[in-house]
Structure 1
Amino acid sequence: MTNVETAPKPIANRPDRSRVTDAESAPSMRVRIAGSPLVFRLAFLVTVLVLWMIASSTVLSSVLPSVPDTFSALGDLLTGSQFYDQMWLTVRRVLGGFAIAYVAAFAIGTAMGRSKRCEAFFELFVVTGMSQPGIFIAMIILIGLGLKESSAIIAIGYLAIPMVTVNIWQGTKRLDTDLQEMSQVFGYSRFAQFRHVILPQLAGPAITAARQAFGVAWKYVVMIELLGLSDGVGYQVNRAFQLYDLTSVIAWTIGFMIFVALFEYIALRPLERWAFLWRERPMGKFVGTKKIVNEDGADHA
């Protein structure tokens, strides 16, 4: 038999898929833009504005201020110094209460997750704290410690502790003990165990707890300022309410919500991405705190 060599097929007429024309890429780009989360967020805002305009011009025309009047008041508020001065006082109280709540909740939550005795000791505090009426506790603390900023910070921190503790507690209970034992066998130091075994597993619950702590703090700080303080965003909203100035109430509320949203996307979201960078990094063999890697990039013992 004779060997017959099959000639390669000509590739001159094959389409070059490495080059994509503008006409071909335009539909996929339009799909990506249409499916972008930003589009849906903008759609939500537009829907709220449309419903607001309809309500203010029909059934609630005698109560609800119009959109142009409200945004005019909001513009005056944001271009002046009063909003930023009052907002800074509120933020300062939120940060103080968050620091108290997060440190205490992290300590209590990890202790509850690692020890059955600690879990039994603090469980009643967490369970009752999750359902306690915040306004009652705030009143007790403000009356007991006085109507001052330190009392507000303590009240915010105390009210946020139970809710934040739950996330740390449950996250600690789900730690993989086999990984920790394996790290000990391979010679990881205590710091390396915490940095590369325990902390990555707690990153998710810790970030969730931080977001929840700030959410609780933002809500309670306005309530506490409304109850017993003489400055801050909550006080300004209460002052406008007592004057039956609904336009100012809504303007202060929108300004506060804008700041909270900016804080979420500028501070918390980047922190969350940074906390989960470990998922994309290769893990090496540690002796103490030193990672051993071959010259070609491969890890070795």
Structure 2
Amino acid sequence: MRQAHNAQARGPRLGRLGWSLISLLALVGLWELIALIAQSRYMPGPTEVVQVMIREAEAGELWGNIAATLIRVAFSFVVAMFIGSAIGLALGRYPMADRFFDTWLIFFLNLPALVIIVLCYIWFGLTEVAAITAVAVNKIPNVAVTMREGARSLSKDLNEMAHVYRFGWWKTLRHVTLPQLVPFFAAAARSGLALVWKIVLVVEAFGRSDGVGHQLNIAFQLFDVPMILSYALAFIIVVQIIEMAIIQPLIARATKWRR
């Protein structure tokens, strides 16, 4: 019975993988077709882009710039998740604080990322602190909104049960509160990673001397489209590997109790 169940579980998974590969190959084929029709240096084909990527990797430029960007992404992500989660939980648990700070939250949600980046560079100079602060400030409101909804949805019945059985604050936090917040934290983390790395590229293009964003800015000035696409594609692949190898397994482990 268990073998049959495992076989049924593997079937849809392999099916999704197969469809993903077919879809990806179709996209690459369409890209190649458009490049052949355009016959322009501003629309390179996938083969040319991959060749540029390999050349940059062999020279060491690709890995060095990706590493610099990933470090900024990691620091900004951790800061934004920690501060945003704390703010969101506080607003969700205390209605008066939520009513007072809701306008602040809406203000920062609608404040353009470019404005925050420019202001941070003006206030703190062209430094790593300014870059990380600009990215974190852009992401904190989004995390706060998601975690606020999570705090609002906490079960009062479960909290009362924990109180009746004298769980204590630590046991209640670990076994009652945090498991209920995991789906919201996971949603904030996954959307946060997608948003943070995009903002990091803008930050690097404006005021850093290394990183993927800096290289994209140089390639833009030279109208080097193959270079732009090669760095963009390489970084997308790296982010997807992080998503599948780290974030998804962690989320699956944290939500295992729900199955």
Normalising by the residue count of structure 1, what TM-score does the alignment of the two structures yield? Answer: 0.79
The alpha carbon displacement at 1:167 in A equals 0.9
Aligned positions of 1:82-231 closer than 5 A: 82-231=61-210
The runs of 5 or more residues in structure 2 that have no matched partner are none
Alpha-carbon separation, structure 1, partners of 2:128 and 2:169: 40
Contact 1:125 1:162 survives alignment (8 Å) = no
Shift of the 33–109 alpha-carbon distance from structure 1 to 2, 3 Å rule, reads closer
> Identical aligned pairs, as a percentage?
30
Alpha-carbon separation, structure 2, partners of 1:76 and 1:275: 40
Pairing 1:57–2:36 present: yes
Contact 2:53 2:62 survives alignment (8 Å) = no
Q: Which has the larger radius of gyration?
A: 1
The alpha carbon displacement at 1:72 in A equals 0.9
Aligned positions of 1:5-84 closer than 5 A: 32=11, 36-59=15-38, 61-84=40-63
Deviation per CA, 1:220-241: give whole Å up to 9, x if none: 0001101121111100011011
Shift of the 34–268 alpha-carbon distance from structure 1 to 2, 3 Å rule, reads closer
Deviation per CA, 1:190-230: give whole Å up to 9, x if none: 21111111111001001111112212211100011011211
Normalising by the residue count of structure 2, what TM-score does the alignment of the two structures yield? Answer: 0.92
More helix as a share of residues: 2
Alpha-carbon separation, structure 1, partners of 2:168 and 2:254: 22
Instruction: Give 4+ residue runs of structure 1 displaced > 3 Å after superposition.
Output: 59-62
DSSP 3-state at the match of 2:38? coil
Alpha-carbon separation, structure 1, partners of 2:208 and 2:14: 45
Give the count of matched residue pairs. Answer: 254
**Higher-RCO chain (CA-CA 8 Å, sequence separation at least 6):** 2
For the aligned residues, what is the CA RMSD?
2.0
Alpha-carbon separation, structure 2, partners of 1:150 and 1:249: 26
The alpha carbon displacement at 1:173 in A equals 0.1
Alpha-carbon separation, structure 1, partners of 2:204 and 2:157: 48
The runs of 5 or more residues in structure 1 that have no matched partner are 1-16, 21-27, 281-301
1:289 aligned residue:
none
**Which range moved further: 187-196 or 254-263?**
187-196
Deviation per CA, 1:177-201: give whole Å up to 9, x if none: 1111112112212211111111110
